[in-house]
């Protein structure tokens, strides 16, 4: 493996917050009155979610394979191509949800290709554009507006407050992008709860560890989500810290059990795997653990392949 310096890693972590760039299938139109949730998964965390009559684009990373820097010194990112063209992924969307500004969640290709008048929804939070330089602290909203987007809406930072977008309601919830030094370095992040009248409650963990203090369990207890979208790739940047940046397969399976404790009908979709050079937990790692769960619960866990479409709810 090519070794890269800590400085280089910090710069690349900054590029986690930036990226680089470059462009069909899947246009699921909601059925009127349907309670079904259509989830079209593309790569890493990028997906289209059709929910409550709205089609949302989630965390777009639209660069071709290898266009973004390495995070772990192993290979450029992303490590795989999109299963379809960016033009197909961004067609006919009502809004874009950006959980945070790391380049595996919003990259310059997305900044270039998306219509600048599209509504973008992001947590009210901020992060350093360059993790090594405190003077580069800027809100996610400001960072998105710098791409030219004119309709960026923030989800209030208190869980008790919410953002309404048409018939959908968004709340931000606790998340922590790694323990100790690595969490401090990588910056703040939030989970998101999405609700709409008569629709299943969705909890999107975003990039978070499963914490020992029980913050995530508290979210599961309070909101009893029907659908959990969980990031479980287990990334580590060894040169900085051996700590996980977000859940791996072992934490993912604990999250599934906890979610099932508070909602025995929960469906869990596990993503953020096999697309980036610092993610060491694979779909197979998680599947092996899922296979140890009761058969009925196994049926409610989805580990989508790139390009897979799942009907939930």
* Minimum gap (Å) between residue 298 Cβ and Zn ion: 26
Options 43, 48, 102, 300; binder of Zn ion; rule CB under 5 A: 102
- Give the rounded distance of the alpha carbon of 9 from its chain centre: 21
Taking the complex as a whole, how short is the minimal distance between the CB of residue 291 and Zn ion, in angstroms? 26
How far from the centroid of its chain's Cα atoms is residue 74's Cα? 22
E-assigned strand segments in 83-151: 95-97, 120-123, 126-128, 137-139
Please give the backbone phi and psi of residue 184, each rounded to the nearest 5 degrees, phi first. -65, -40
Tabulate helix, strand, coil % of the chain (nearest 5). 25, 25, 55
Is there binding between residue 159 and Zn ion (CB under 5 A)? no
Q: Which of 159, 207, 277, 285 binds Zn ion (CB under 5 A)?
A: 207
Our CA dihedral for 269, 271, 303, 286, rounded to 10 degrees, sits at -110
**Which CB atom, from 104 or from 159, has the smaller least distance to Zn ion?**
104
Residues 6+ away with beta carbon under 8 Å from 58: 45, 46, 47, 48, 49, 96, 97, 204, 229
Cis peptide before 80, with omega less than 30 degrees from 0?
Answer: no
In the window 239-258, what residues touch Zn ion (CB under 5 A)?
none
Listed ranges 32-40, 155-163, 199-207, 298-306: which one lies at the site for Zn ion (CB under 5 A): 199-207
When the beta carbons of 132 and 293 are compared against Zn ion, the nearer one is 132
* Residue 102 or 128 with smaller CB distance to Zn ion: 102
The residue range among 190-198, 207-215, 262-270, 297-305 that interacts with Zn ion, by the rule CB under 5 A, is 207-215
Contact criterion met (CB below 8 Å) for 267 and 312:
yes
Decide whether 159 or 207 has the Cβ nearer to Zn ion.
207
State the Cα–Cα distance between residues 234 and 25, nearest whole angstrom.
30
Stretch that binds Zn ion, among 99-107, 115-123, 124-132, 255-263 (CB under 5 A): 99-107
Cβ 72 to Zn ion shortest distance, Å: 13
Which residue's CB is nearer to Zn ion, number 106 or number 302? 106
**Shortest CB 239 distance to Zn ion, Å:** 17
Q: Does 107 bind Zn ion (CB under 5 A)?
A: no
| Size of the residue set binding Zn ion (CB under 5 A) | 3
| DSSP reduced 3-state for 184 | helix
Q: How many whole angstroms from its chain centre is CA 93?
A: 17
Bridge partners, residue 268, by sequence: 228, 301
In the DSSP assignment, the letter for residue 105 is T
**Residue whose CB is less far from Zn ion, 40 or 207:** 207
Tell me how far, at minimum, the Cβ of 111 lies from Zn ion, in Å.
17
CB of 100 to Zn ion, least distance (A): 6
By CB under 5 A, is residue 104 in contact with Zn ion? yes
User: According to CB under 5 A, which residues from 135 to 154 bind Zn ion?
Assistant: none
Judged by CB under 5 A, the stretch of 62-70, 85-93, 200-208, 285-293 that binds Zn ion is 200-208
Q: What gap in Å lies between CA 16 and CA 77, rounded to an integer?
A: 10
Where does residue 166 fall: left (phi above 0), alpha (psi -120 to 50 degrees), or beta otherwise? left
Q: List the x/- string, 57-96, binding to Zn ion by CB under 5 A.
A: ----------------------------------------
Here the tokens at position 228 are: 């959990």
The nearer residue to Zn ion, 48 or 102, going by C-beta atoms, is 102
Q: By the criterion CB under 5 A, which residues form the site for Zn ion? A: 102, 104, 207
């Amino acid at each position: 493996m090519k070794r890269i310096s800590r400085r280089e890693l910090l710069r690349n972590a900054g590029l986690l917050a930036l990226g680089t760039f470059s462009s069909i299938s899947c246009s699921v139109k909601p059925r009127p009155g349907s309670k079904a949730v259509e989830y079209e998964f593309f790569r890493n965390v990028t997906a289209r979610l059709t929910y409550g009559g709205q089609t949302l684009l989630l965390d777009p990373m639209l660069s071709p394979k290898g266009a973004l820097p390495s995070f772990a010194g192993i290979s450029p990112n992303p490590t795989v191509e999109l299963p379809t063209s960016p033009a197909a992924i961004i067609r006919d969307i009502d809004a874009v949800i950006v959980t945070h500004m790391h380049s595996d969640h919003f990259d310059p290709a997305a900044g270039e290709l998306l219509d600048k008048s599209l509504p973008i929804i992001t947590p009210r939070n901020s992060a350093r554009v360059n993790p090594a330089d405190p003077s580069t602290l800027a809100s996610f909203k400001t960072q998105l507006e710098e791409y030219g987007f004119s309709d960026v809406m923030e989800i209030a930072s208190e869980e008790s407050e919410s953002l309404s977008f048409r018939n959908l309601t968004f709340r931000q919830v606790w998340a922590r992008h790694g323990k100790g030094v690595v969490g401090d370095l990588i910056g703040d992040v939030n989970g998101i709860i999405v609700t709409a009248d008569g629709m299943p409650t969705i909890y999107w963990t975003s990039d978070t560890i499963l914490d020992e203090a029980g913050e995530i369990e508290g979210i599961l207890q309070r909101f009893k989500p029907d659908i959990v979208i969980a990031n479980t790739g287990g990334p580590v940047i060894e040169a900085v810290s051996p700590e996980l940046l977000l859940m791996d397969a072992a934490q993912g399976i604990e999250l599934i059990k906890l979610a099932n404790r508070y909602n025995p009908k929960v469906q869990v979709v596990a993503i953020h795997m096999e697309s980036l050079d610092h993610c060491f937990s694979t779909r197979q790692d998680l599947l092996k653990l899922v296979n140890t769960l009761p058969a009925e619960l196994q049926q409610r866990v989805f580990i989508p392949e790139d390009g897979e479409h799942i009907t939930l709810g």
